């Protein structure tokens, strides 16, 4: 697939990195800064073009004429939308994705309907990260909470600890623990390595377990893996940037939220727009301030500033001062790996969260959702089944008959309103949404082909 990425900022670079790993993709990156592009070209096998992302001349030299997709990720909403518009008007580019941060645009869906702006998909990294963090806060103890089928099915990743009812037991005992509930364990990671979940697999303390369940069954399952967590009431957020601000707004009605911001002008602005949040002016790494505001009472401390080192340090400090759980926004995968599970509880990776929305678009077959996991090594995806039993390798077949690549499991099937946990004898039908877990993302291509209509005749 020929893809043009506009903007080589943080999101743009991550997208480039992830998309270029697929051999099938031809990537061209456009940015105004030649230096950034050179660095990127040194590391990855891509083409680069220097210029204004929305100018037709730039787009033309980037090969827009025969591009399959344009992904506009510059830091200007307007440039992004304009670029999509230009790509449509001049080159009829089939798929146009734009990063649009301002909530005001997204609040008017009519803008992007027929006759409006030609943007097929809007991506707002801030919004995605905000939703991600607020789901984590909603389920204390979770490391990941991923939505599928509009949130009717969720996949949760969490670390098993001694005291959880299922810890030390075989997986096949799960139905006895949770009668009338249907939960599937999709993957288990033990000391960083994937363990195929079978009936006789014993869950050990320290395992990172991914399970999938209908939304209402999540909490009971979490109790199986950890001792019960009290619901979150007190949240302390460090950094009142876009994400911190949005998060405070989404949490303030049901939680006591404190928001720490060092810039007095920004703090004032944020205080005016939030209703119940207590905005504090100061440094999130200031021990005195944290103690003054009873950090030892906080259920969750989340640091979301622009500086990841500061996020790590303030989260570590908060954790040491007694915050129950500490999360930090960390961009670099290396840092995230260092920190998570040790000095802080959850490392939030904005790129991984954002990239999923892009990956869903470049995949073969009809893919509704992609969640990139474990720094991009694994993937959970929701794909829609098309075709019929004559030309498809999956339609009207039982799960055990499907020839899945190693490390890949079918976890659940959503059929209309119905959520079905996949068993070996579950039969896949047309239009099912199938949720898969891939412990090795290299098999993505194979899985894509498998689910494509017409795969059988090939």
Partner 1 sequence: MNLSMVQHILGLMLLIFSLTMLPPAAVSLAYQDGHFQPFLDAFLIVALLGALLWFPVRRARRDLRLRDGFLVVTLFWFTLGLAGATPFLVTDVPDMSFTDAVFEAVSGFTTTGSTVLVGLEGLPKSILYYRQQIQWLGGMGIIVLAVALLPILGIGGMSLYKAETPGPVKDDKLTPRIAQTAKALWAGYLLLTAVCAACYYLAGMGAFDAFAHAFTTLSTGGFSTYDDGLSHFGSAAVEYVAILFMLAGGTNFALHFLALRGRSMRGYLKDAEFRAYVGILAVLILVVSSSLYLTGRYGSIADAFRHGAFQVVSLQTSTGYVTAEFAAWPGALPALLMLATFIGGCAGSTGGGIKVMRWLLVFKQALVELRRLIHPRGEILVRLAKRPVPDRVINAVTAFFAIYLMLFGGLTLLLMALGLDQVSAWSAVATSLNNTGPALGSVASNFTGVPDSVKWTCALAMIIGRLELFTLIVLFTPDFWRG
For 328, residues 6+ apart whose C-beta sits below 8 A from its C-beta are: 302, 303, 308, 311, 312, 314, 315, 339, 344, 346, 347, 348
| Binder of partner 1 out of 160, 178, 188, 267 (CB under 8 A) | 267
| Binder of partner 1 out of 8, 251, 279, 328 (CB under 8 A) | 279
Nearer to partner 1, 126 or 261 (CB): 261
Binding to partner 1 by residue 214, rule CB under 8 A? no
Classify burial at 278, counting beta carbons within 10 Å of its beta carbon; exposed 0-12, middle 13-18, buried 19 or more.
middle
For residue 317, the minimal CB distance to partner 1 (Å) is 17
Classify burial at 387, counting beta carbons within 10 Å of its beta carbon; exposed 0-12, middle 13-18, buried 19 or more.
middle
Q: How far is CA 23 from its chain centroid? A: 23
Nearer to partner 1, 279 or 360 (CB): 279
Nearer to partner 1, 278 or 402 (CB): 278
For residue 290, the minimal CB distance to partner 1 (Å) is 11
Distance between CA atoms of 123 and 71, rounded to whole angstroms? Answer: 10
**Could you tell me which stretch among 48-56, 188-196, 270-278, 375-383 binds partner 1 (CB under 8 A)?**
270-278
Binding to partner 1 by residue 321, rule CB under 8 A? no
* Run of H or E including 238: strand 234-238
Nearer to partner 1, 106 or 278 (CB): 278
Distance between CA atoms of 332 and 164, rounded to whole angstroms? Answer: 32
Distance between CA atoms of 36 and 270, rounded to whole angstroms? Answer: 33
Q: How many helices (H) and strands (E) does the chain have?
A: 15, 22
Pairing of strands 408-415, 418-421: antiparallel
Distance between CA atoms of 192 and 198, rounded to whole angstroms? Answer: 18
For 311, residues 6+ apart whose C-beta sits below 8 A from its C-beta are: 238, 239, 303, 304, 305, 328, 329, 330
Question: What backbone phi and psi angles, to 5 degrees, belong to 75?
Answer: -85, 10
Strand residue runs (E) in 245-387: 256-261, 278-281, 300-303, 325-329, 346-348, 366-373, 378-384
For residue 310, the minimal CB distance to partner 1 (Å) is 18
Binding to partner 1 by residue 241, rule CB under 8 A? no
| Binder of partner 1 out of 150, 292, 297, 309 (CB under 8 A) | 292
For residue 302, the minimal CB distance to partner 1 (Å) is 19
Nearer to partner 1, 17 or 269 (CB): 269
**Could you tell me which stretch among 159-167, 275-283, 299-307, 382-390 binds partner 1 (CB under 8 A)?**
275-283
* Run of H or E including 97: strand 95-99
Q: Which position has the token pair 């890949």?
A: 408
Binding to partner 1 by residue 253, rule CB under 8 A? no
Binding to partner 1 by residue 289, rule CB under 8 A? yes
Nearer to partner 1, 121 or 280 (CB): 280
Binding to partner 1 by residue 293, rule CB under 8 A? yes
Nearer to partner 1, 123 or 267 (CB): 267
Size of the site for partner 1 (CB under 8 A): 15
| Binder of partner 1 out of 32, 50, 220, 271 (CB under 8 A) | 271
| Binder of partner 1 out of 106, 281, 377, 455 (CB under 8 A) | 281
For residue 224, the minimal CB distance to partner 1 (Å) is 40
Distance between CA atoms of 73 and 81, rounded to whole angstroms? Answer: 10
Q: Across-strand partners of 154?
A: 147, 213
Binding to partner 1 by residue 431, rule CB under 8 A? no
**Could you tell me which stretch among 2-10, 285-293, 327-335, 423-431 binds partner 1 (CB under 8 A)?**
285-293
Nearer to partner 1, 274 or 420 (CB): 274
Q: Residues interacting with partner 1, by CB under 8 A?
A: 264, 267-268, 270-272, 275, 278-282, 289, 292-293
């Amino acid at each position: 697939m020929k893809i043009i990425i506009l903007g080589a900022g943080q999101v743009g670079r991550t997208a480039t990195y992830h998309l270029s790993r697929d051999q099938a993709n031809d990537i061209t990156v456009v940015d105004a800064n030649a230096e950034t592009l050179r660095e990127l070209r040194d590391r990855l096998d891509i083409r680069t073009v220097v210029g204004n992302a929305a100018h037709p001349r730039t787009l033309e030299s980037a090969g827009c004429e025969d591009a399959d997709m344009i992904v506009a990720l510059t830091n200007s909403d307007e440039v992004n939308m304009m670029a999509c518009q230009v790509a449509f008007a001049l080159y009829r580019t089939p798929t146009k994705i734009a990063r649009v941060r301002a909530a005001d645009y997204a609040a008017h869906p009519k803008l992007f309907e027929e006759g409006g702006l030609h943007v097929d998909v809007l991506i707002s990294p801030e919004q995605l990260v905000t939703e991600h963090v607020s789901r984590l806060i909603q389920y204390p103890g979770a490391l990941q909470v991923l939505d599928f089928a509009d949130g009717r099915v969720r996949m949760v990743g969490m670390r098993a600890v001694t005291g959880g009812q299922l810890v030390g037991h075989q997986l096949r005992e799960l139905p006895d623990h949770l009668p009338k509930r249907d939960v599937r364990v999709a993957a288990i990671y033990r000391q960083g390595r994937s363990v195929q979940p079978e009936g006789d697999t014993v869950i050990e303390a320290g395992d990172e377990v991914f399970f999938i369940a209908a939304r209402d069954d999540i909490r009971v399952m979490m109790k199986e893996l950890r001792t019960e967590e009290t619901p979150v009431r007190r949240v302390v957020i460090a950094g009142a940037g876009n994400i911190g601000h949005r998060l405070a707004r989404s949490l303030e009605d049901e939680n006591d939220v404190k928001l720490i911001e060092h810039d007095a002008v920004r703090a004032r602005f944020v205080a005016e727009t939030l209703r119940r949040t207590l905005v504090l002016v100061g440094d999130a790494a200031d021990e005195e301030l944290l103690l003054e505001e009873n950090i030892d009472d906080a259920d969750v401390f989340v640091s979301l500033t622009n500086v990841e080192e500061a996020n790590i340090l303030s989260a570590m400090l908060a954790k040491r001062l007694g915050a129950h759980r500490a999360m930090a926004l960390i961009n670099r995968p290396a840092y995230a790996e260092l920190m998570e599970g040790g000095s802080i509880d959850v490392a939030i990776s904005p790129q991984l969260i954002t990239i999923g929305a892009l990956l869903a678009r470049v995949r073969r077959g009809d893919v509704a959702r992609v969640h990139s996991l474990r720094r991009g090594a694994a993937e959970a995806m929701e794909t829609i089944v098309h075709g019929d039993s004559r030309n498809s390798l999956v339609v009207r077949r039982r799960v055990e008959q499907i020839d899945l690549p190693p490390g890949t499991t079918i976890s659940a099937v959503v059929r209309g309103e119905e959520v079905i946990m996949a068993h070996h004898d579950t039969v896949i039908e047309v239009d099912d949404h199938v949720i898969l877990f891939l412990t090795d993302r290299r098999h993505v291509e194979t899985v894509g082909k498998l689910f494509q209509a017409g795969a059988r005749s090939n």
